[in-house]
Amino acid sequence: MISSIVVIGSFNQDLTWSCTEFPAAGETVVGRFKTGPGGKGSNQAVAAARAGAATAFVGALGDDNFGHDAEKFLRAEGIAVHLARKKLPTGNAAILVNRRGENQIIIALGANAALAPRDVPAALLGDARVVVCQHETNLALNLHVFRTARRAGVTTVLNPAPMRADFDPRILDLTDVLVPNETEFVALVNRRGFTEKSLHALPHHDLHRLCRSFDVPTIIVTLGARGCFVSQSRGHLFIPAHTGLKVVDTTGAGDAFVGGFAAGLVRFDGNIASAARYGNAAAGLSVTKFGTAPSMPAQRAIARLLRSA
């Protein structure tokens, strides 16, 4: 089967502790523990597949229990997997979630950082409609992937998460759709005094003008519980987040957005606004469930939420 969407990125085993409040430095608190599949790349592939798109995932795992379970999980989701085994541990993430559903995360990239151009089957990219990358593998690989995708006329979607000191802006010349969250957008703007607070205070036409200062056809800034802002050369659009949902855990909301958006691009034949609404609904549903990949909603639930809004 041909995969319309190819996600190239990380798998992490998520080790998650929920607590009432985050511990302060030097403090110990009692919480509850759960572990499950995560990692931005894998989460986005799961989100896209559940949202109804034929999806492939390219990633790197260690030869360990986390890695073996990851492969079983991804296959069970109906994702076409291309997994390189590295002599490094499978990536992992320590996640704290407080009672407001907020999170703090530390990741160890492990095998993800060793994902290399030779691990990406060339034919896979040529047949795809959309390719999605993030910042949890290695950034040189992302450049290689987007160059190949551009040559093949495949739409490139970059989620610059997490923002890294070794970010190479040349990738922006190869990006069709850039999807940063607020923190990542502030880092990209890289202007003294420009903070998340100033981003929130910007009137939409000024935010649009700022987005247009990057040479990227479409920028979608995800704004957490506010929703998202879509900027294209032909104009801009604010899509409010869905309201009335019980927020359990926002971890992976950005991944639900990106995966849902990519599936929307295929479903709505490249229509950015419809795809962003689809991603926004997928992300809204994801915050109502605990965990990252396991919280990604099914196509039917997304359609139901969009009908009811």
- Structural contact between residues 182 and 224, judged by C-beta atoms closer than 8 angstroms: yes
**For the purposes of burial, counting CB atoms within 10 Å of the CB of 274, is it exposed (0-12), middle (13-18) or buried (19 or more)?**
middle
Torsion angle (degrees, nearest 10) of CA 16, 17, 22, 26: -100
Between 161 and 265, whose beta carbon lies closer to ligand ATP?
161
- Answer with the entry of ligand RIB, ligand ATP, none that 225 interacts with (C-beta below 5 to 8 A by kind): ligand ATP
Q: Which of 14, 176, 249, 255 is catalytic?
A: 255
Number of H helices, E strands in the chain: 10, 13
127 carries an active-site annotation: no
Report which residue type is found at 73: F
- Beta-carbon contacts of residue 265 (< 8 Å; ≥ 6 apart): 129, 130, 155, 157, 177, 271, 272, 275
Only segment of 23-31, 53-61, 252-260, 281-289 that touches ligand RIB (CB under 6 A): 252-260
- 3-state SS, residue 307: helix
Instruction: Count CA atoms closer than 13 A to 260's CA, side-chain side.
Output: 31
Minimum CB distance to ligand RIB, residue 261 (Å): 14
Measure the CA–CA gap between 207 and 203, rounded to whole angstroms.
6
Q: Is 181 among the residues that bind ligand ATP (CB under 6 A)?
A: yes
Residue 180 contacts which entry, ligand ATP, ligand RIB, none (Cβ below 5-8 A, type-dependent)? none
Q: Which stretch binds ligand RIB (CB under 6 A): 163-171, 224-232, 246-254, 298-306?
A: 246-254
Interacting residue with ligand ATP among 9, 110, 259, 284 (CB under 6 A)? 284
Site string for ligand RIB, 32-61 (x = CB under 6 A): ------xxx--x------------------
Binder of residue 41, out of ligand ATP, ligand RIB, none (CB less than 5 to 8 A by kind)? none
Positions touching ligand ATP (CB under 6 A) are: 103, 161, 181, 222-225, 227-228, 241-242, 245, 247, 250-255, 257, 280, 283-284, 287
Which residues have a catalytic role annotated?
255
